[in-house]
Structure 1
Amino acid sequence: MTPTTPHPLPWPGALPASARSRLETVLAALPEHRRTTFALRVARWWDDLVEGLAPYPDPPEVASRVVELAGTAYLSRSEDLHLLDERRSLEPDWFQRPGMIGYAAYAERFAPAGSGLAGVARRVDHLKDLGVGYLHLMPLLRPRPAPNDGGYAVADYRQVREDLGTMEDLREVAGVLREQGVSLCLDLVLNHVAREHPWAAAARAGDERYRRYFHVFPDRTVPDQYERTLLEVFPDFAPGSFTWDEELGGWVWTTFNSYQWDLAWDNPDVFCELVDVILFLANQGVEVLRLDAIAFLWKRMGTQCQNEPEVHQLTQALRAAARMLAPALVFKAEAIVGPNEVVHYLGQGRHHGKVSDLAYHNSLMVQIWSMLASRETRLATRALGRFPAVPSTTAWITYLRCHDDIGWAIDDADASAVMIEGWRHREFLSQFYSGDFEGSFAEGLVFQQNPATNDARISGSAASLAGLGRALDALDAAFDEQSAAEAATAVDQAVARVLLGYAIVYGWGGIPVLWSGDEVAALNDEGWDAVPEHADDNRWVHRPRLDWDCVVEAHGDPTSPTGRVYAGLRHLAQVRARLPHLHASVPAEVVASPDPGVFAVVRRHPVGPMLALYNVTEQPRQVPGWWASEIGLPLDQAIDALNGYPPNLSADGSVYLSTYQPVWLVRP
């Protein structure tokens, strides 16, 4: 039999011949179908890569370097990850589906004590019981010694924290999760590295190549010019954005802390280094990368050095490079910015659908807590209703709580549009959730109050901010039947607030993410400051170790607050998975409810509309039936998907909502 002649590989025509030759040498050991697949991916993503590299003087040259890095990584990609890539290529909406629920945790606080990454695998059944298909383990790449900003001061991108295990352990955990249908998400800190990172160490040792990896200035002249427009991230314990380093012999840019050195992304060598890191992590089985502090990458004099256009261009290039190796990998932008800015991280204009696949919907979290405090929905309706449309191939990450504090991102123009003052409302929310406002149910802690603006952020667990801790204390202290009844009502209302908040999160679309402990109504950790390196950062108050006794209680006593929250979240996940309306490609349309105590969201799907109604008050509320019909959902044709029955109607045909009740109306 005459041997067949191999077909020429389908490289893009613009790929330089020298790069093509080197690539074919690198890939020579692979079977033809593997080489063909890689060449097809390069051809598919080449234009996006080159276009995204426009900030650099010679985009094709940098692109050729990137493709060679991807080809080298492709050699070592495992068979099971190649299979995952094929599956994801056939199911590109895998992360958009209604059955997708997320969970976020610190590995050492989620796994059994002392078990490290191996212990995470022992919690998979717990995740599956909650409907989880996406697990975000908080920063676990090796950081500098404490203080390290909770792990976000990375000293080595290719090693795991020693107390958690090894990179081999991480690969094994990713494999176990993947077998159970759970995708692993890790943090990738893009804006900065620790002062102890090898690149920074080389710069301090006088290596000019690595010195150019950072923004270094001989005196304060240029830093002072930048400082005129920069915002302080941590004004309490890290004022300013530049730090003098004696070994370096210069002022280095440090947006966050003095030990976190901002990378110079205007240097293409830095871009290529981070591409190589991304490819390495993809080959460990990571399926989602959270691009930490992405808004800060590009520096421009006279601006806040956030959200510059080059950030979106370079993210497009990073994504294109990643897709060449691993179509299974998606990006999540950690950009806590306003609605007009955050949509750019999912792709707008010529970057439509080409930037990140996921982005945090921080405004949704802020507006949920705002509604619960004010018992009013007009501000939320205005603020959330003006979000521009996002690409149908992307999804929001929605959440009630996360590892971070809550900054009251209330836009002054939104506030003015509903006849309130933005600064006054922000002040009210800070006072309310720190428990300093009369009648507050919350128990939060003030974090990073800015004396110049008086803005104060808030730390605290979801259950404590919703009033459960205060209500349980009142129940324990009850001295007669009446006080016990009042306290029991307060407990019921706190549980209802938690579940209402999560109903809004689960009913928004995208990927709703549970913060570890919320499923068992975890309260503030009273011993949060017992660890010395945590003592100055009260965000650790809402980062407790998952109390497994509470998980056992949730299963054993469904009438307890813990049991009710756990069962409620499981129920939300199960109902959500059955509703095509909640696919992320279907936009959420915020509409003004006739009752300002009811928050209303419509999702229009070919199978029919879904009308979600949320009573954000302790008092019963009603929404007119005629209004629901005008939305497109006559009540005689609707059921509440959350209970399977027709909506509860009053005598005049209005939808009746009890205390903090959510209703998801759909056609049966």
Structure 2
Amino acid sequence: MAEDLVAKLSGMLDIVYPAVDTTFLAKQLIETMRLAEDAESPPAHRNNWDEGDIILITYADSVTCKDEKPLVTLDRFLEEELRDSLTGVHILPFFPYSSDDGFSVIDYLAVNESHGTWEDIERIGAKYRLMSDLVINHCSARSRWFDNFKKRVEPGKSYFYEASPEDDLSEVVRPRTSPLLSAVQTEDGVRHVWCTFSEDQVDLNFANPQVLKEFVSIIRFYLDRGITIFRLDAVAFIWKEPGTPCIHLQPAHELIKAMRLLIEHANRDAIIVTETNVPIRENLTYFGNANEAHVIYNFSLPPLLVHTLISGNCRHLKTWLMSMPPAQMGTTYLNFISSHDGIGLRPADGLLSEEDKLRLINTMERFGGKVSYRRISEQADQPYEMNIALYDALKGTIEHGPDALQLQRFICAHAIMLGLEGIPAFNIPSFLGTENDYERVKHTGRFRSINRSQWDIEKLQSELSDPLSHHHKVFHELKRLIAIRKQQPAFHPNATQFTLHLGLEIFGFWRQSMGREQSIFCVHNISDKVQQVSLTSINLIETDHWRDLIADTSLDDLSGTLTLKPYQSVWLANS
């Protein structure tokens, strides 16, 4: 067995389990991952992505067809409509579950029978880089492990984090308003289990090394079925210590390092993505020293970009972009504007003022959105996220309300996202221009369902084939922009990026390819009025030949000005 691997792994585990023989534990984990004795480390600082990478985020049953398993329908839709656009597919939890649309997992090793089979998952994984959730902080109160917890037998008896109502829990950071502790009747009396998200989602106890071993076994199982991108769901919360905030604690970071080390040795093309819906400074810590997450979600982008486009002012977005550190080689950002949850507000802390956030929330409610809250004290709750379909979030402005520029505003948002440093990810409702789903909210009783629509495949195909449908316009224009982006080396996720200073109504940035052979100036009118941009202010080199890649037009007069229609985007490239 490779002693250097054992030594590296045990060094991480020493911090987590100081009272445990971590050399023995490291060897157990390496054996569980079925690593060869001479397993070699992958090359350091190697990028597993390029400018061609595009990820789609979807539920297994986002597209359905009568008398057909949803995973079969999804595979067919991807093959017929998106095969040339995507390189990766994130299928949100497709396991048997009891609540939260999959994030309360009953069985980590099974595919929900109503969705399909492992063969269906593997078939999609053979065509795309397959991303799966590792729902690592908690599991279902209806799982076998929790049944065993209540029976007081293993595996399960020691798998869940217990606390006392008498403990000092005043500092615990909450993402929900539900009670933190849940009283459970067991074979030997009442136990109080920790529930960060809901009573049905019981937090696992990673202070027990056996829980880590279980998840390493699950990771190995997923790798064997073609999953190569692991989204560590709610990973910031996995380590608890009463008297502390119980978020971002050092053992959580060490556990991520350990999982990355094992995953990289098992498959050097596999990567870890951490899901940490928190303020930017906290989020950035999950890169570690390029030894934790390969990729972190750019959680501040959705609220800032939506605010920019409905306010017509890019000051906050520009300030944020200037403050973003370039990702080290071997790491990058995952850029998205819409998710299956909502537009998070915590990632806007320190970036938007409380007044700006309140105006944003009020505008989203005017546009049909809902607001979910989190508990910050026994006496107070705070807005946590805005639940709204992105298409409706961009239907107007703060000042004037809905207008006729919804489509242009929506496309501008995605043109900005596609140009930024990082890998672009599209939530399927946004890719299809789906609107607020009030019927689904009424059916489930959950605000988040507003952006979790299910499309009947025949109705969807009818909309996508109708040139007058906004779904058609959104879908085909996004595919066109993706096709352009995929050909530009300056859009590599790790290519150089600088922010341009073009006023408050024009948001711009410059990208340069890693070999410096291509420059692209991304310039966006984020207002509802025509804007003029002096080409000299962009500092284009006059000896180069410049083209707008989006309009496929040449810029012949570099001494003039660029006229941008409301919400128009240009990608000015020199080759």
TM-score (norm 2): 0.90
Task: Tell me which of 349, 353, 361 is aligned to 1:430.
Answer: 361
Alignment correspondent of 1:628: 538
Structure 1 outlier segments of 4+, above 6 Å = 88-91
Change (3 A) 1:550 1:573: farther
Aligned-pair distance for 1:460? Answer: 1.6
Alignment correspondent of 1:242: 181
Map Cα deviations across residues 193-228 of structure 1 (whole Å, 9 max, x no partner): 1122222222211237743322223x4211xx02x1
1:430–1:456 Cα contact (<8 Å) kept: no
Distance 1:110 1:356 in 2: 31
1:241–1:255 Cα contact (<8 Å) kept: yes
Q: Which amino acid aligns with 1:118?
A: V
Q: Which amino acid aligns with 1:556?
A: S
Aligned-pair distance for 1:90? Answer: 13
Q: Which amino acid aligns with 2:171?
A: T
Map Cα deviations across residues 229-286 of structure 1 (whole Å, 9 max, x no partner): 1233221xx2x31111122622111111112111111221111111111111111111
User: Helix, strand or coil for the counterpart of 2:455?
Assistant: coil
Alignment correspondent of 2:24: 61
Tell me if 1:152 matches 2:119: no
2:280–2:300 Cα contact (<8 Å) kept: yes
Distance 2:97 2:344 in 1: 26
Task: Tell me which of 592, 599, 602 is aligned to 2:507.
Answer: 599
Task: Tell me which of 242, 252, 266 is aligned to 2:193.
Answer: 252
Change (3 A) 1:151 1:179: closer
Aligned-pair distance for 1:616? Answer: 1.0
User: Helix, strand or coil for the counterpart of 1:290?
Assistant: strand
Task: Tell me which of 48, 52, 69 is aligned to 1:115.
Answer: 69
Tell me if 1:367 matches 2:279: no
Distance 2:77 2:486 in 1: 22
Alignment correspondent of 1:231: 173
Tell me if 1:510 matches 2:422: yes
Distance 2:126 2:191 in 1: 50
RMSD of aligned alpha carbons: 3.0
2:299–2:347 Cα contact (<8 Å) kept: no
* 1:88-99 → structure 2 map (5 Å cutoff): 93-94=47-48, 96-99=49-52
Change (3 A) 1:626 1:139: same
* 1:264-663 → structure 2 map (5 Å cutoff): 264-347=205-288, 352-409=289-346, 411=348, 413-415=350-352, 422-435=353-366, 442-448=367-373, 452=380, 454-455=382-383, 457-467=385-395, 490-491=403-404, 493-531=405-443, 534-535=444-445, 537-549=446-458, 551-553=460-462, 555-591=464-500, 593-605=501-513, 606-629=516-539, 633-634=541-542, 637-647=545-555, 653-663=560-570
Distance 2:214 2:287 in 1: 23
User: Helix, strand or coil for the counterpart of 1:287?
Assistant: strand
Larger-gyration structure (1/2): 1
Structure 2 residues not aligned, in runs of 5+: none
User: Helix, strand or coil for the counterpart of 2:110?
Assistant: strand
Distance 2:185 2:466 in 1: 60
Tell me if 1:131 matches 2:62: no
Aligned-pair distance for 1:309? Answer: 2.1
Aligned-pair distance for 1:551? Answer: 4.3
Map Cα deviations across residues 461-493 of structure 1 (whole Å, 9 max, x no partner): 12122228xxxxxxxxxxxxxxxxx99x944x1
Q: Which amino acid aligns with 1:215?
A: Y
Distance 2:246 2:154 in 1: 25
Distance 1:269 1:410 in 2: 33
Change (3 A) 1:453 1:260: closer
Map Cα deviations across residues 308-335 of structure 1 (whole Å, 9 max, x no partner): 2222211110111122323332211111
Aligned-pair distance for 1:633? Answer: 4.7
Q: Which amino acid aligns with 1:495?
A: L
Alignment correspondent of 1:4: none
Change (3 A) 1:354 1:454: closer
Distance 1:255 1:565 in 2: 37
Task: Tell me which of 146, 158, 161 is aligned to 2:112.
Answer: 161
User: Helix, strand or coil for the counterpart of 2:300?
Assistant: helix
Distance 2:120 2:269 in 1: 17
Structure 1 residues not aligned, in runs of 5+: 1-10, 15-42, 76-84, 416-421, 436-441, 469-485
User: Helix, strand or coil for the counterpart of 2:62?
Assistant: helix
Change (3 A) 1:411 1:48: same
Which structure dedicates a bigger proportion of its chain to helix?
1
Distance 1:575 1:389 in 2: 23
Alignment correspondent of 1:52: 12
Distance 1:575 1:301 in 2: 51
Alignment correspondent of 2:120: 173
User: Helix, strand or coil for the counterpart of 1:403?
Assistant: coil
User: Helix, strand or coil for the counterpart of 1:71?
Assistant: coil
Q: Which amino acid aligns with 1:391?
A: Q
Distance 2:381 2:44 in 1: 50
Map Cα deviations across residues 64-120 of structure 1 (whole Å, 9 max, x no partner): 111111228x89xxxxxxxxx99x9899644x2111111111112224245232333
Moved more, 513-522 or 371-380: 513-522
2:6–2:27 Cα contact (<8 Å) kept: no
Q: Which amino acid aligns with 1:288?
A: I
User: Helix, strand or coil for the counterpart of 1:384?
Assistant: helix
Aligned-pair distance for 1:383? Answer: 2.0
User: Helix, strand or coil for the counterpart of 1:132?
Assistant: coil
1:366–1:409 Cα contact (<8 Å) kept: no
Tell me if 1:70 matches 2:33: yes
Task: Tell me which of 201, 221, 228 is aligned to 2:166.
Answer: 221
1:524–1:541 Cα contact (<8 Å) kept: yes
Q: Which amino acid aligns with 2:553?
A: Y
Count of equivalent residues = 560
Aligned-pair distance for 1:153? Answer: 1.0
Aligned-pair distance for 1:374? Answer: 1.3
Aligned-pair distance for 1:559? Answer: 4.5
Map Cα deviations across residues 583-634 of structure 1 (whole Å, 9 max, x no partner): 112243334x2320111222232114322111111111233323211xx655
TM-score (norm 1): 0.78
Distance 2:277 2:523 in 1: 27
